[in-house]
Amino acid sequence: MKTILNLSLICTLIIGCDSISNQTVDIKNKVPIKIDSKLELVDTVSSSTTPLLEEPTILTPFPEFDDYTLITDEYIPQTQIEGDFFGDNTDDIAVLVRKNNLIHIGIIDYGTDTLIKFIGDTEDNLKRDDYSWIGIFKSVPSGDTLWSNYVDDFRDLEEVPFDERVVLNYDAIYAHASESCGGGFIFWKDNKWNWLQQE
Ligand SMILES: [Ca+2]
């Protein structure tokens, strides 16, 4: 009886092996990859034709941002800030965006129309084409005093003449390097971007 069982087991194994050996595997369009230390064939056709779906971001609805990617850097606490940066009583959104390895400030200017603007992408009057040094990116509330704390040397606000201080009835942007000197207030005034140094 034991012998019969063993024989039947061997037959099953032989038949099983035979049926496996008779299987044809279409290896065209498949590549071997290692999964759990075993080589397995993976279909390259389905993986190469499946489009990669990108997560929609705040930039997605605007074709002006097609060549830009949103900066999401764990070392920058905020890469997206809100404020009325043009004084039209509607809040806008400023974002750090990358294009060709340079970082610019993009602004979604909400208002009667929604306009996309950039600082650092075109010949704006700040003449800076890269903001990759930014580690701190904040909105400055309307009414705060904007001033430069460095002209030839450091100075306190009390030392700054009144005609050099700027107080807006709309918001500004504060951008600064995270661990070194360098940064400033960026604000829209007299139809252009302005800069006041904050070391
Ligand atoms: Ca606006």
pTM here is: 0.72
Q: What is the mean pLDDT of the chain?
A: 82
Distance 83 CA to ligand 1 centre (A): 8
Q: Which residues contact 54 (CB under 8 A, 6 or more apart)?
A: none
Residues 131-172 pLDDT 10s: 999 999 999 999 999 999 998 899 999 999 999 999 999 999
Tell me, in angstroms, the distance from the centre of ligand 1 to residue 119's CA.
15
Which residues are registered as beta bridge partners of 43? 30
Give residue 88 CA to ligand 1 midpoint distance, Å: 5
pLDDT classification of 9: cutoffs 50, 70, 90: very low
- How many whole angstroms from 110 Cα to the centroid of ligand 1? 4
For residue 122, report the distance from its CA to the centre of ligand 1, in Å: 20
> What does the pLDDT read at residue 52?
67
Residue 173 · residue 105 · CB < 8 Å: yes
Tens digit of each residue's pLDDT (9 = 90 or more) over 20-63: 444 455 555 555 555 555 566 656 555 555 666 778 999 999 99
Q: Find the 28 Cα to ligand 1 centroid distance in Å.
A: 57
Distance 67 CA to ligand 1 centre (A): 23
pLDDT at 41: 61
What separation in Å is there between the alpha carbon of 137 and the centre of ligand 1? 19
Which residues, by Cβ under 5 Å, contact ligand 1, an ion? 86, 88, 90, 92, 109-111
Distance (Å) from CA 173 to ligand 1 centroid: 14
Task: Specify the pLDDT at position 141.
Answer: 98
Domain locations along the chain: 64-197
Return d(Cα 189, Cα 125) in angstroms, integer: 12
